[in-house]
Each structure stands twice: as structure tokens, then as C-alpha cells.
Structure 1
Amino acid sequence: MRIAAVVLAIGGLASFCNATAIAAAREVPVAPAGTPASGAASAPAEEQVLPAPSGNIDKPNVVAVMAAVGDRLSMSRQQMSTGTHIDPTRRKTIRVPDQILNASVLRGLDRGISQEYPDAARVLLAWTPPEALQQQLDDIKGLDRDKLLLDAVIEHLRAVPLRAQWDRIELIIPKYRRFEANGMGNKLQGIGVFVQPLASNKDLLDESMPPGDSDGDQRVVNPNTGEVVRKSTFVAPYMFFERVTLDPRTLAVVKRQAQYEATKYHDPMSESIDVAGHLPPSLLAQKIDELAERAAYQSIRGKSSVEVSAPKAVSGMPPAQPASGASR
């Protein structure tokens, strides 16, 4: 199997917690544009030369796999509604370094494409918006932000001559979800964590009950045992994104597919009064990492089978810094 790993731009991506929390995160080889990367995922040097493109997007010899999920992690927490039109969700955005979110997405995309097109070479691309563009993205919300980001990615690729060697581009970018669904709150976008601390009067243990019943309980997972329980309070890593297929020669959009993934957790044995503490920072970082990889893989291969790679420790990460703009 041939893999050419190329990074078009290096920006800040990492865990939102701390160096300890990132011990569960894994890396994808990173190299300057046009240079094959070294590392476990790279092919031997003699296999790094890309084959000639087939010229057929449906039967590609070379697939470029690109993650552009950015360097923002959204933290959202439900609050008691006062009966007004004020949004009952408290929100903040954390800016994090070192490409970890992009790396998680790339692992899932790369594995999915390797199974979808087993004979094709893959080019791994990671992109984080430059600071000026990021400021624009921070200043606008919703569908307008989605459009601005996709347009910027396409313009970035337009200046990349290497795309003449590719047959297909598979891209993942954040997607805005305006309305609440299945207890997850509204106005969520990209990768983040949603905390629902407001308890209902009824918590049951019953795997036969569908999620999102009218009593307000949700189907949640015990993070220690994997047991499915019924609880109204939870902490949920999520990833709301869009998979976009581009023609590398014209950069025309061939296909768009929105996907919304979240896993709700509640630890009945936790000593934390606040449900947000049911996932300690290191475990929360691991769950976000796994969710991003799994969701990216499923966007290619569907949900019939999932395989998450083994954790690899990462050291030397700086502490996260607050973003200049917070999502609303």
C-alpha cells in the first residue's frame, strides 16, 4: 500500500485540556508541502512516488485526503431556561495547538479510503485557517461560516500545483447544526463537548427504551463499563461535520454529505457532583480523539464496522489557550 503524506499548512490543533490529557491522543506524520512524511504511516522511500493519475474520479489511482476541522474546540453547557428568548446554553471556545484534531480525522479518513479504494495511493493533507481568516470565522456564525470556510479551502487548494497528480479529494470540514436534536442542544458546530447537567425526575436502566423519550431521559453510556443506561444528565463529545468530495482539476464540488455524531456519557459511580466531571480530562480527551477518528471513518465506510487504532502517547504539549472569539 502506498501512502504519500503531505501537509499544506501547519496550524494549532491539540487537546483542550493539558499535557496529561493529551497522552491518549495520536499523531499523523507531518511534513512540508510536497515532501513525503516520515513515521509509521509512511510507505518505504522507494514507494513514495505517486502513480500516474487515472483521470477518473470514480476509479482513482491517487486520492487526496484532507482534514480542515480547525483549531477550535467548542464547549457548551445547558442552563436553566428563564422562559425568555435568551439562549439557555453557555458557550466558550478553546484554542488548542499541534494538529491533534486534524490528525484524528486524518486517521479515520485514511483508513476508510484505504478500504474504499485499496489500490489507490493516498495523500494526507491538513489545513488550519491563517489568523486573518480565523478572525473572520470567529466573527460570523452558522451557515455563513460554513460557506466561508469551504470557499477558503477551495481557494487554498487552487494554489497547490500538486493537485494535478490527484484523481479525487476527500475533505472534512466543520458543519453547523442550528436546531436541537436528541437532547444535544442547538447551535453546535465542528468538534466539541456538550454538558447537560439538568436532571429530570426519572432515571431508568432500560436498554430497550429508544433515545430521547418524552420524559427527557437519554440513552447514555457508562464510560467505565460500556453499559447503556437511562439518565437525563450527561457529558457528550460531539462532531458535526461535512464530508465534501472535490474534483482536483476543477475543484468543483462533486458530493456533500453532512454527518452528526455524539456519544453521551454518565458515570453512576463518579464522586463528581457536576456531570461534567464524569469524564476526567485525560479520558475526555481520549473520547474526543476516538470520536473524531471513528466519525471520519464512518463517513467513508458507513457504520457497519469500526476499528479505532491503538493509543499512542504524545509528550511536550503546551497548555491550551482561550480563543480570541467565542462561539455564540
Structure 2
Amino acid sequence: MNSSSIPNNNTLRSNTPKHFTWVLVMCVILLGASVVASLAFGSRPVRFDELIDGLFRPDVDSFGANIVRKRVSRTVFSLFCGAALGVSGALMQAVTRNPLADPSILGVNTGASLFVVCGIAFLNITSASQYIWLALAGAAITAVFVFGIGSMGRGGATPIKLVLAGAAVSAALSSLVTAIMIPRSYVMDQFRFWQVGSVGSATWSAIGTFIPFLIVGVIIAFMTAPALNALALGDDVATGLGVRTGTLRFIAALAGVLLCGAATALAGPIGFIGLLSTHVVRLILGPDLRFVIPMSAIAGAIILTVSDVGGRLMGNPGELEVGVVTAFIGAPILIILAMRSKVRSL
């Protein structure tokens, strides 16, 4: 693509939404509040002094301080997974020009689930690093398959065709997952907790495995954002601006699958985060992806972390898995969005 499709610094400043700074400040405050809530609330709430001891006084060995330290990895993992899913949703909506595109709606999560359960059943995999590569492969193959089906027929890949193709593929793959698990009880025992979607089993080792995928995916997202803005004007206009639309879609979709697949491998198929975060950001700041992508990352981190806290409080003294909470919130919102937008393309 040529330089005409990429805004310079003066253009970026002139196109910055007037209320962007205030929105950013509010999101940072909400992010901080969600982190504090994640550390403080659960089956055993901690006092303020225990929170301080757990975070800043490693020599203190009280029960409350140890609980806080155990929750730190879970909180960090929630933030990273939420950010990855938020950016993935923004990229998938931009690539497909579909306001309802989301890893869970397009069947990408289910594809990752199928490959993970196949790995458990036939390859005896158990580690997070092995989950990631299988989940990435499943997510990528499913994304290509759904887009291929949605592109068939008259009119190409329209928003409604992509959503229907994703729903159909997701249903078929879910049936395959069930067929593999039913005769293998050991697979069902290992897979069922992962399938619901949870950040409760987060470890620093898993976070370390996840970080490289998060960094690469986010960097690609930022690099492709200006060209994706041109793509939103239509393929013909984007081509006239020097954008190689096919290459751009491939690279941006690859980043989306990378982020979604890695998050799904470690946390399970958590749905609706990408859809919710990106829609909220677009509603407030507009469609410019230079702002939508970073703010979707922050919004996704907030939504997932708050949902995890909500699941802990609602399920007390146990906990309700975060995948259940996000589905409970996201499903009615998806219906409302579909009714109001009438599934228009971006």
C-alpha cells in the first residue's frame, strides 16, 4: 500500500475524537477498579490491609495476603485474555465488514475446541503450550472455512451469510466434539472444565506462554489499522488508495485468529467479549480503527475481569465460570444489536 492510505501525525491529531481523552481516562479508572475488585472479592473477601500486605509486603505470611497473591495471576490472565479477545473482535469485524463478527459467532472458538479435544483424545496432550498450537490450527482452519462458505453465491460474503455460516459450522463442530467425548470419559473429565471457559486455573507459566502471541497479534493489529480504515470504504476505494485488499485481509485475519486461538487454548471458548467491547467502543468513539483497536483491548480486559468477579460473587461459596457469565450477558445484547442494526455491513 502507498503512503496515501496511511495518515500522518497531523492527520491523526486532527481526526482524534474530541472526547477521546476523557473516555481513555474513564476506561483506565474502570480498569483499575476491576483489578482491585478481582484481587479483593471472591469466596473469601479480603480486607484493605490484607490487600496491601499481599501486594507490597512479601514478608507477611497471613492467610489473606496469600489469597491476594494467588489472585494476582488470575487477574493478570483475565486482563490479557480480555484484551486479546477485544482486539480479535475488532479485527474480525473490520476484515469481514460485519458488525456482528466475533470469534464465538463465526465458529472460531468451536474450531479451536475441536482440535483441543482431538489432541486430548488421540494425542494425549496435557500442557498449555500444546493446547495453544492445536487451538490456533483449529481456529485458523475454521475461520477460512466459514469465510469460504459465506463468500459463496450471489453477493459474496455479506454480513448475514457470514453469521449463518458461522452458526452452522459451529453447530456441526460442536456435534463432533460431543461425539469424540461421549465414549471417552477421561476426555470428558479433562475437557469439560476447559470447554465452559474459565480463568480460574491461570498460572504464571500459562501467562508466559500467552504473552508472545498477544504481543505479535496486537502489533499486527496496530500496523494494519490505517489500511483497515480504507477497507471500510469498500474494496474499490481501498485498492485506489494503494491497499492490497487480499493481503490485508489475510494479515489482519491471521492476527485475529492468533489472538483468539491463544486465548481460547488457555482459558477455553469464552464468547461475546470481542462483540461487546468493540460495539461499545464504536458507539462512543466512532469507527476509526486507530482508536477502536486499543480501546477494544481495554474494554475487553474490563469486561472479562468484571465478569470473572461477578461469577465468583454469584457462585459464592464456589464460583460461576466466566464463560457462563459472558454468555448470559452477551446473548441478549447480541439479539438487541441484530434487531437494531438489521445486520448492516460496516
> Could you state the TM-score of these two structures normalised by the residue count of structure 2?
0.27
Which structure features the higher share of strand residues?
Answer: 1
TM-score by length of structure 1 reads: 0.28
Q: Which has the higher helix share?
A: 2
Which has the higher relative contact order, 1 or 2, with Cα contacts under 8 A spaced 6 or more apart? 2
